[in-house]
Amino acid sequence: MRSRHILSDRKSRMRLVCVLVVFLLALTGVWVLNLLNVIGGSWSTILNAIFTGLGSIVAFLQWHEQTTSEAPDTAEVSSSEKAGPHEPSIPGLANKRKGAIVVYAPRTWRGTTLHLLSGLQEATGPIEAVSNVVEHRSAEQRQFLGHFPAVPPGHYTLVALSRQRHAQITVHAGHLSEIDWR
């Protein structure tokens, strides 16, 4: 029942986004035609106000979604997934063939970009994956963490360039590897 609701919610959001994109493309076309003097009138000033207002509304809606939702795709854990008392309740992090990495960080690290590099290196090399430190709320506590779900087993280097930190870690299939930088 819950998955049907999420699926229909996603479809309705996608339809809304498509309609908004078509609407904005039409407004942009009218604006360009006005600037080329194909359409006469004061459309330029009106469309400036419309685009400014729409930009502010979109930014507000993105902020509102982040602050009010608990991300239904990641917040709930099914009873078949048994997380330990200290592990975050984010389903699908590890499976039989792949492991996962969770990085615990202080509140001041919110928004910090974490780079996962293949191999045990000194903070350079090809980037395997990227994650940002985000706030994760559970019933008991509030944590700031970055996570790398479904990481192939092997040795990795985790780098926070803006914080000048790095750590070497080994990922095992079916296990959650943790780094605590709090």
Task: Determine the CATH number of domain 90-180.
Answer: 2.60.40
Structure tokens, 28: 């942009």
Mean pLDDT computed over 78-92: 43
Confidence of residue 84 (pLDDT cuts 50, 70, 90): very low
- What phi and psi, each to the nearest 5 degrees, are found at residue 107? -55, -35
pLDDT digits (tens, 9 = 90+) for 110-135: 999 999 998 887 767 778 889 999 99
pLDDT digits (tens, 9 = 90+) for 151-179: 899 999 999 888 888 899 999 988 898 99
- At which residue do the structure tokens 């870690």 appear? 169
Q: Facing residues of 114 across strands?
A: 131
Q: Could you tell me the pTM of the whole model?
A: 0.49
Long-range contacts formed by 162-168: CB under 8 A, 24+ apart: 162/112, 162/113, 163/109, 163/112, 166/122, 166/123, 168/120
Decide which of 48 and 91 is more confident.
48
pLDDT at 82 over 50: no
Residues 142 and 146: their CA atoms lie apart, in Å, by 13
